[in-house]
Amino acid sequence: MAVHNNFYSCYYNNDPNKMIRTDLYDRWDVYFNVTDKQKPMSFKKEVLRSCELIYDLLKPYTPKLNFFFSGGIDSEAVLRCLHELKIPVNPIIIEHFHYPNGVERKVSEHTCNSLGLEPTIIDINLLELFKKNVLQDIGEKYHTPHLQIIELLHVFELINQPCIIADDIQLTKTSYGNEYFAKDETVNQKWYYELKEDVDGPFDRYEYMTGMPVICDTLKYTPESWIAMLTNNTIKSIVKPFSGKASSASSKNIMMSREFNVFWRSKVSLFGDGPYRRINNILLHDLEYQLYPIIRRKLEYYDLLNTLGYKDES
């Protein structure tokens, strides 16, 4: 699969060809291939390198990279990297019928204008799509209950070209059990990188079922980019102290704004409020609790670094 050619893949029952969950007892597997790992550079340099690798992979399919630009910090960082490398890019901005000229739309258009890029605007009426059962069908088809992911998959089908999105950083501090690598860990309150099957899985399934490449893990596209992110000084400053009370979300945003010179701002969520709240809850109930429960892996911070082949020499 093009999206995970570098080092990271997920599937069921240790079978790379089994992308669809057919039984509640099917086990989601994560596989890391770090045989080609090299010493990481700074996080920004590793993301720039990832953008080059992604472009080399997708340019035979499309003259411009179709990049979904939400206006968030992560997506702006990737867009600025593509622009810095002079990679031809087509920023795609979703315009919601019930949120005309919303904050995310304004921020996205302002950023594109400042970079001299002309975005493609996709108009979406989620309530109408819900009434026609389009959202439900897509959720069942690709096994996801989340409205935001279902919307992206719908636009993927409309565009029918290779696309890339900026993944989110899921570092979290928790005392919850179910550790993947440290199964016998008894110390509470540790930092984990949380992998959610429902985040990357539907995009993997889309590519597998359509044959259309999708890059959904731009910020962790190589082992080096993941290591560079996890060992960034801003991240280490909250992970190493046991008390570490700073939230992972705010620390990640601070790190991203410093690394990529992106203006720090809070994420605007459209899918849990207003007119979308009801259909979001219905999809979650019908698809998550009845059909496809989400599976998670919590990778303890230092065990994850060891898995990626990194040794802290400081």
Residue 148: burial class (beta carbons within 10 Å; 0-12, 13-18, 19+): middle
The SS3 assignment for 239 reads helix
Q: Which two tokens stand for residue 273?
A: 């409020």
Q: pLDDT band for position 299 (50/70/90)?
A: confident
Q: Is residue 285 part of a domain?
A: yes
Handedness of CA 153, 155, 159, 161 (dihedral sign): negative
How far is 276 from 274, CA to CA, in rounded Å? 6
Q: Which residues pair with 297 in a beta bridge?
A: 195
CA distances to 29, 193, 263, 299 from 8, in Å: 11, 14, 30, 14
Please say if the pLDDT value at position 181 is more than 80: no
What amino acid is encoded at 19 in this protein?
M
What's the domain count of the chain?
1
Q: Which residues pair with 31 in a beta bridge?
A: 9
Q: Please state which of the ranges 9-18, 223-232, 250-259 shows the lowest mean pLDDT.
A: 250-259
Q: Is residue 294 part of a domain?
A: yes
Q: Can you give the pLDDT at residue 246?
A: 52
Please say if the pLDDT value at position 173 is more than 80: no
Q: Are 151 and 96 in contact (CB under 8 A)?
A: no
Please state, as a whole number, how many other Cβ atoms lie within 10 Å of the Cβ of residue 270.
22
Q: Is residue 231 part of a domain?
A: no
Q: Are 228 and 40 in contact (CB under 8 A)?
A: yes
Q: Can you give the pLDDT at residue 175?
A: 67
Cα-based torsion angle of the residue sequence 251, 257, 260, 261 in order, rounded to the nearest 10 degrees: -160
Angle between helices 134-142 and 147-159 (to 10 degrees): 90
Q: Can you give the pLDDT at residue 193?
A: 84
In the chain the beta strands, taken as DSSP E runs, fall at 8-12, 28-32, 65-68, 89-96, 120-124, 163-164, 171-174, 190-196, 214-215, 296-300
Q: Is residue 181 part of a domain?
A: no
125: CB partners within 8 A, 6+ apart? 96, 97, 98
Q: Is residue 305 part of a domain?
A: no
Q: What is the mean pLDDT of residues 85-101?
A: 90
Domain of 206, CATH number, reads 3.40.50
Domain of 84?
A: 2-169+196-222+268-299
Please say if the pLDDT value at position 256 is more than 70: yes
**Residues 270-281: pLDDT tens digits?**
777 777 888 988
Q: Is residue 314 part of a domain?
A: no
Q: How many helices (H) and strands (E) does the chain have?
A: 12, 10
Q: Is residue 102 part of a domain?
A: yes
Q: Can you give the pLDDT at residue 300?
A: 85
Q: Can you give the pLDDT at residue 131?
A: 96
How far is 288 from 278, CA to CA, in rounded Å? 15
Please say if the pLDDT value at position 4 is more than 60: no
Q: Are 28 and 17 in contact (CB under 8 A)?
A: no
Q: Which residue has the higher pLDDT, 12 or 179?
A: 12
Q: Is residue 155 part of a domain?
A: yes
**Residues 21-75: pLDDT tens digits?**
888 788 888 888 887 788 899 999 999 999 999 999 999 999 999 999 988 888 9
DSSP 179: B
Tokens 């795609």 locate to 92
Q: Can you give the pLDDT at residue 149?
A: 93
Q: Are strands 296-300 and 190-196 parallel, antiparallel or unpaired?
A: antiparallel
How far is 147 from 114, CA to CA, in rounded Å? 30
Q: Can you give the pLDDT at residue 183?
A: 47
Q: Can you give the pLDDT at residue 247?
A: 58
**Residues 119-163: pLDDT tens digits?**
999 999 999 999 999 999 999 999 999 999 999 999 999 999 999
Q: Can you give the pLDDT at residue 248?
A: 55
What share of the chain has pLDDT > 70, as a percent? Answer: 87
Please say if the pLDDT value at position 186 is more than 70: no
